Structure formats: structure tokens, C-alpha cells
Amino acid sequence: AQKVTQAQTEISVVEKEDVTLDCVYETRDTTYYLFWYKQPPSGELVFLIRRNSFDEQNEISGRYSWNFQKSTSSFNFTITASQVVDSAVYFCALSEWTGNQFYFGTGTSLTVIP
């Protein structure tokens, strides 16, 4: 079973629009960690944020914000006032307390149109 689901395959927005990328996860562990990565066209995965399962506080970093809701097993990512440089594939990932590997979703390809 897929542990991380990113149902949105591709999203296009016009520059300066807000966009939310959805991530739903599945785990039996009570302690786990969630991550978001950005993969620009150059290919290198860039770490954006880590969230612990016991910390449900939402986080804002500049134009980026993350909404973690354990009740719905979701960890959504919002980009405010999108820019062309935000165009990339974004991956959500899960790391469980009982293991060492990361489980990645299939990614959401975001295109920001100028």
C-alpha cells in the first residue's frame, strides 16, 4: 500500500496566485516524520521542511506554509504569491520510527506561468 499519496499530478497557476499541494500519508507508527522536498528541472532534491508527528503546530517560512493535521493524516504545503522560480516537482515523504527509509509520494509538478 502506498504510504504517501500526492493525488495532484500536475498543477498550473499564474504568477502571484496562491497554490496548495496536498499530501496524505499512512502509517501505524505513533512517532513519525514528514518532509517536503523540491526537485527543480536541474534534478537535485532540495529539502524544504521536516515535521515531527508530535508537533502539530503549523509553520510559515516566507511565502511557504505547511498545514499538518493528524486527524486527516495530511501535511499540505501552500505557496503564497507564487513565482516562476517555484516551478518544480514537489515531493512529500514519510519516515517512520520503526524504520530508516523515506517513503516518497509520486510528486506534484507545479508550473507557474508568468
Partner 1 sequence: DTGVSQNPRHKITKRGQNVTFRCDPISEHNRLYWYRQTLGQGPEFLTYFQNEAQLEKSRLLSDRFSAERPKGSFSTLEIQRTEQGDSAMYLCASSFGGPRGNQPQHFGDGTRLSIL
Contact residues toward partner 1 (CB under 8 A) are 4, 33, 35, 37, 42-47, 50, 52, 91, 93, 95, 97, 99-107
Question: Could you give the CA distance from residue 73 to residue 105 in angstroms, rounded to a whole number?
Answer: 14
**What is the closest distance, in whole angstroms, from the C-beta atom of residue 44 to partner 1 in the complex?**
5
Please, which residue, 9 or 18, has the CB nearer to partner 1?
9
Tell me whether residue 24 or residue 45 sits nearer to partner 1 (CB atom): 45
Q: Least distance to partner 1 from the beta carbon of 16, Å?
A: 28
Coil, strand or helix at 71: helix
Closest separation in Å from C-beta 106 to partner 1:
5
Q: Are 36 and 90 in contact (CB under 8 A)?
A: yes
Cα separation, 21 vs 36, in Å, equals 10
Question: Would strands 88-96 and 32-39 be described as parallel, antiparallel, or unpaired?
Answer: antiparallel
Closer Cβ to partner 1, 37 or 66, answer by number: 37
